[in-house]
Each structure stands twice: as C-alpha cells, then as structure tokens.
Chain A
Amino acid sequence: MNGYELLNVTFQFLESFAFIVLATVGLAVIFGMMGIINLAHGEFILVGAYATTLSAHQGLPLPVAMLVGVVATTIFGIVLERTIIRRLYGRLLDSMVATFGISLVLVQLTRILFGNSIDQVSTPFGAISYGSYSYSLYRVLLAGAAIATLLVLYILFTRTAFGIRARATIQDEETARSMGVDTDRMYMSTFAIGSALAGLTGALYAPARASPTPEFGSEFLVDAFVAVVVGGPSVLVGTPLAGGFLGLIEAFFTFQWTQFIGTVAMLVAAIVMIRLLPDGFSGLVESVRTSWRESE
C-alpha cells in the first residue's frame, strides 16, 4: 500500500464512519432514551432530504436549505409525537407497528405528491486530488459533521439542566415527576431532538445522492439498525464506537477487495459482535467501568 492508497482507504473510512454515525444517531436517541423503535426513521430522513432539496430549488442557498430541512423534520416529529407516538410510550411492539404504518404512508404520500424522483442538488466543494486519485471533499467533511453532532449531543445531555432532566425522566419517570420535572414535555423534547437529527442526516445527504426518491430513507435503515444493536443502549458511547468499528471493517475490506465484500464483512462483524457482546459496545464500556469501581 503506497501513500496515495493509504489516503484512499482513509477517506473511505471517514465516509463510512460519517454515514453510519449520521444514519444512526437520530434512531439511537429515540430508542436509547425513550425505548421507542422508530421504524419510520428512514422517512424522517426522507422529510429532511426533500425539504432541503425542494427549498434549494426555490433558490435558497444550500446551508439555509439544510436548516429548513432540519426545522421541517423537527416540526414534523413534534406533530407526530403529539398525535400518535405519545400514546405508545412503554408499548414497544405497538410502537413498532404504528411507526411501520407511518413509514408506509409517508413513502406512498411522497410518491403521490412529488412523483418517482425529484431533481437533485449537486454536491458542493468538488474534489481533493492526489496522485492519479481524487476524493469528494464534501464526503470527507461529512465525517467532521458527524463528530460535531456527537459533541453537541454530549454537551446537551451531560452539561445542561435540560440534559439532566431528560435523563432523569428516562431513568425513573415517577421520581422525576415528583421532583417537579414536566416529564411529558421531556419526552416531546427528546423526540424532537431525535427528529431533528434524522432531519439533519437527510439534509446533509440530500446533495450527496443522485436525485432523491420516495425510497431515500430505506438505504439508511440497515446501517442504522445494525449500528444501534452493535452500539448498545447508550447513544453517546455506543454510536461513535459502532461507527468507528463497522466503518473500519467496511473500509478495509472494500479497499482490499470490492464494495460487495466490504458490505459482507461489515454484516458478519456485526453478527459476531452481537454474539460476543449482547449489550453492544456500551454494555462493554459499562461492565469495564463497574469492575473498575469495584476494584477501587
């Protein structure tokens, strides 16, 4: 492997990592914090992507269009939470069926409203060239966006009063309420954050994909669910570790052979991981922490 090829595999890793983290993070917040398995996660991403693309076609500059995408998905998430999701807290299976239904409705509604595809917005920034190779700068920068997103989440959930109230609600709703936390509002806010993250993913990937179609969200689902399982229940610990681990495996095998082998390797690694670590990376971190505490 010469220096240029090392750059190739590094960029491929960064792109994999960004995709896995961004596909997962919204799902992980809603699942990890609220215990809702949102099978309509892909369609939240779809809403973000369509809102971004359509507003960019209206002449908005791309960053503003992306902001529109995030805001639209957040509002969409809040409406859905108020009307449907809030009736399903604590009902895991019911929430799966309901969100599955929502997903079917949204895909078909998108098809009816906007047809089989909408025109794309092209990817900004062009390429980085090195030797005979080149790589899309935007795709590499997405890794930065993924890390920034995780940092913001970390600060929000560990360093703010809101974060403490939200975690208290998740840990013990009764006690939190008796301490004066408006738990109903906490659930709504957490769901809104999960929706905003999904919207952000859609907004960021809208210009990195050929023309968006009603199935836009489904391509994120496999990575998102695999990474949630491999990462385990803690969003902040599990998501980056899962993204790093799976991304590394995929990038290495893809570089060595082809994209197909890379995909196979990633899924096999996920299966082995689940067998060895049923609680995922965050379970592993948790048990290491516990044994440290005990040894002190």
Chain B
Amino acid sequence: MTRRSISRRSALAGGVASGLAAIGGCLSEGGILNGSGGSDGPMIGVLEDRSGEFALNGTAKWQASLLAVEELNADGGVLGEELDVYDPDPQSDNQRYQELTREALNREGVDALWAGYSSATREAIRPIVNEEEQLYFYTTQYEGGVCDRTTFAMGATARQQLGAVIPYMIEEYGPRIYTIAADYNFGQISGDWVRLLADEHDAEVVGEEFILLGETDFGSTINAIQGEDPDFIASMLVGNGHANFYEQRADNELDVPMASSTTMAQGYEHRRLDPPALEDMYVGVNYMEELETDRNAAFVDAFYEQFPDADYLNQEAQNNYFSIHMWAEAVEAAGTFDQETVIAELEDGIEVEAPEGDVELDPETHHMTHHMRIGRADGEHEVTFSDEQYIEPSFLHEVGCNLPDDPEQTQYEPDEFYDEI
C-alpha cells in the first residue's frame, strides 16, 4: 500500500498555490514584515523543520538553538552585540530549504548557518552554501564522509554510531544481520557501513530492504524478516512514517532485537509509541535526554524552563546547542564575525563543554569526537546506557581528508574505499 504522503501542493498541482503559500510564509515568518532588515547586528540562520515529515526531529533543534542564543544574549551577547536569529520554518521541504538558504545568505547575510535534518536536505543546500562560501553547521547524525572547507558536521557519523552498536550486537546476539533503511543517500550509505562492519566482525548481512520515506506499511517487510530469521535487525529508518515499523513489529509479535543509529534519540519513538514497540532496541547515540549526568540535568532543566510544552530534547537539539556555543567561543577568540577568520579559529582546534560531555572538534575533518553510548529500551521503554566510548571521526582520516591543507568540498562514500561492500 502506498502510505507515502503527498503534500497538498503537489496534489493541487498548484504553482499558484505554492506561490501564495510562499508569500504567506514570507509575510508571517519573518521576512518582509518583521524581518531583520533594520538590524545591523550579528545574525545566525536556523532553518529547522517545525512541520512536515521531520517536524518531530526538527522542532527540538529549533528550540535548543533559540535557548543557546538566549543564553548568549543574557550573558552580554557575542563580541558585546546582541545576536539575532533568522528562523523561518522550511516545512521538511527541500525546495523550500533552497529558497530559504538563499534568503538567509543573500538577503539576511547570516554570519553562520544551522540548517537541515536529513542528508537529502544537506546535499540540496550544500551547493548554495559552497557557492557563497558560507560557514555552515550540519548537526544531524549522518552517514559521514562530508569533507567541505566551510561545512562543520556536528553530529556523530555512521562510523561512530554503527561502529559502536553493530559489534556490540554481533557479540550479544549473533552474526546474522537484516538491514532495513530509508531509501535515500543516508540509508543507502548506512547500509554499506553495516556490511563493512559485518565483514570486519565475521558477521553477515542476510537481507536488506530500502524503504521509501513516508512509507507506513510494513507487513511484507516483517514477513520477509521472519523468512530469514536473523539474529538482529539493523534499522536505519527515518521520519515519522517509518515509526510504523516499530508499532507493527510489536503488533506482529516479532521479537528479533534491533540495532539502530536513528531511533529514539531523534524522534523519541520510545515516548510516543505504546510499549513494547521498542523493546530490545539498541541505539548508538552521543546524546539522549535520559543521560544521567549533572551537566545534562542542568541542560534539560534549562530547556524545559524555556519551552515548558516541548515534547523531547533530542540528540540533534543538543548538537545545535553546543555548536552555537562553540561558534560563539570561536568568534570571541577571533575577535570578529568574519567567516574566514572564524573558520581558521575553529581549525586551530576547540573543545566545548557539551551536555553529553567535553567534546573536541577535529580540525582536519571538521567533525566532532563524540562520547558514544549504547542506549537500550526495555519492555517498558525505560532507556539505559552502557559501553561509553570516546570515538574519533576516523573514516575521513582514512580517506585523507585534511581541510586546513587541502580545502575541498566533497562527500566521500565508503564503497569507494572498501572492497568488502
């Protein structure tokens, strides 16, 4: 069954409608009426989804960004100036992302940009970011491999996440893996990483299915998994539609354990779905709201004090939060908002006190070394953490990415470097 969602716009084939919607969007969200045209102070762009397929993931990213800006401003601003935010809602729509990115760069002239949940979005706007040589922070956990002189990838990569959770699962449950992943660049490349990690640990991928974004029917997928009877499922499902897999897994009484890089820490499925849908889900994360440290408790309190109605404080929200503080530190150290100077400052190496723990920027690759944990949900959806490791973004080092010496703008993929895939 075709549980894809179509936007009403395409349903109406409405050039007119989308034009009107775009104008409406401008009027209500920022630009023409209450834009920052009057302010000459520093400004950052925060483009995060608050509606559409990724609203559940993006809303907290937006909120945590505003919290970071609020804290900076309460503390005297950045370089003594109050920080402004350009933050219209891109509505999980890549075309709208491209339009808004141009707005942010060309009209608003933002000093730094945080934008996008999915890898498809990142790749849709990166050409614009590259063209303008814009300092850009992408904060979602992702497949890895982006080696780009003005882009800083703040999330953990597949190598860091799957590298933590897949070997653990092979050890714990056995070597037969069944991969299900979203059918776009993120899911496909993550699937390659699972194969590679399986090969490194003498395990085997016995089945693989790539599933369209927005799909909500998993009856045949579950039957196919039952036919193979794997030791565990590697799930890189993405977005709200795919959450139905977990619901239907419980409904079908399929009790194969699952490993993931995408679940719980982003779309808080363990809070939204009735137990035991997520029972025996193991996810490789650098952050979840449930982490029990004093520093995190303070962060969670501050977040819910600012946004009492917020649903969940997810991993990507934390990444937005610490990276805005990190950028502000770099600006203070550089003494200017000039983007080239700030990039040079970041490339000198920088460490921040993030809620997940102290993390360092890796100057060569523009990625972060993260505290990776394995979060497990039990039959009541209580999350516990184990196996904390401090993991470097190693893949880009292996392929020779060294941005201060060789300022390129590419994305490396694992199948170009490993024969095992």
Interface segment, B116-124, B241-249, B369-377? B241-249
A258 to B254: give the CA distance in the assembly, Å.
19
A258 to B244: give the CA distance in the assembly, Å.
17
A108 to B309: give the CA distance in the assembly, Å.
17
Distance from A36 Cβ to chain B, minimum over Cβ atoms (Å): 15
Chain A residue numbers with a CB within 8 Å of B226 are: 132-134
A225 to B2: give the CA distance in the assembly, Å.
12
A165 CB-CB contact with B under 8 Å: no
Q: Is the beta-carbon distance between B273 and A210 smaller than 8 angstroms?
A: yes
B272 CB-CB contact with A under 8 Å: yes
Chain A residue numbers with a CB within 8 Å of B212 are: 259-260, 263
Interface segment, A118-126, A149-157, A184-192, A193-201? A118-126
Q: Is the beta-carbon distance between A139 and B219 smaller than 8 angstroms?
A: yes
CB-based nearest A residue for B56: A116
Task: Give chain A interface residues in 106-143, CB to chain B under 8 Å.
Answer: 107-108, 111, 115-117, 119-123, 126-127, 129, 132-136, 138-139
Chain A residue numbers with a CB within 8 Å of B211 are: 258-260
Across the interface, B272 reaches (CB within 8 A) one of A103, A120, A126, A263, namely A120
A231 CB-CB contact with B under 8 Å: no
Interface segment, B7-15, B135-143, B186-194, B336-344? B7-15
Chain A residue numbers with a CB within 8 Å of B218 are: 259
> A126-B251, A138-B251, A210-B244 known; A254 and B6 CB under 8 Å?
no
> A126-B251, A259-B217, A260-B183 known; A211 and B272 CB under 8 Å?
yes
Task: Give chain A interface residues in 179-233, CB to chain B under 8 Å.
Answer: 208-211, 213-215, 218-219, 221-223, 225-226
Q: Residue among B17, B220, B229, B273 with the most chain A CB within 10 A?
A: B220
A39 CB-CB contact with B under 8 Å: yes
Across the interface, A122 reaches (CB within 8 A) one of B221, B240, B244, B250, namely B250
Number of residues in A with C-beta < 8 Å to the partner?
Answer: 57
A258 to B217: give the CA distance in the assembly, Å.
11
Q: Is the beta-carbon distance between B2 and A266 smaller than 8 angstroms?
A: yes
B289 CB-CB contact with A under 8 Å: no
Q: Is the beta-carbon distance between A120 and B274 smaller than 8 angstroms?
A: yes
Q: Is the beta-carbon distance between B59 and A116 smaller than 8 angstroms?
A: yes
Q: Is the beta-carbon distance between B214 and A219 smaller than 8 angstroms?
A: yes
CB-based nearest B residue for A250: B1
A279 CB-CB contact with B under 8 Å: no
B111 CB-CB contact with A under 8 Å: no
> A100-B8, A116-B59 known; A127 and B1 CB under 8 Å?
no
Residues 43-85 of B, flagged 1 when their CB comes within 8 A of A and 0 if not, give 0000000111101100100000000000000000000000000
> A16-B1, A96-B12, A259-B217 known; A134 and B253 CB under 8 Å?
yes
CB-based nearest A residue for B210: A260
> A117-B240, A119-B272 known; A218 and B5 CB under 8 Å?
yes
Interface segment, A7-15, A24-32, A65-73? A7-15
A259 to B225: give the CA distance in the assembly, Å.
13
A170 CB-CB contact with B under 8 Å: no
Across the interface, A263 reaches (CB within 8 A) one of B2, B221, B240, namely B2
Interfacial residues, chain A to chain B (CB-CB below 8 A): 8, 11-12, 15-16, 19-20, 39, 96, 100, 103-104, 107-108, 111, 115-117, 119-123, 126-127, 129, 132-136, 138-139, 208-211, 213-215, 218-219, 221-223, 225-226, 250, 254-255, 258-260, 262-263, 266-267
26 A-B pairs in the complex with CB atoms less than 8 angstroms apart? A12-B220, A15-B219, A39-B8, A39-B12, A100-B11, A100-B14, A104-B8, A111-B55, A115-B309, A116-B56, A117-B56, A119-B272, A133-B223, A133-B226, A135-B223, A139-B219, A210-B247, A213-B55, A213-B240, A214-B55, A215-B5, A215-B52, A255-B220, A259-B211, A260-B215, A263-B4
Q: Which 10 interchain pairs have the tightest Cβ spacing?
A: A210-B243, A122-B274, A218-B5, A211-B272, A136-B251, A123-B251, A210-B247, A116-B55, A127-B253, A219-B3
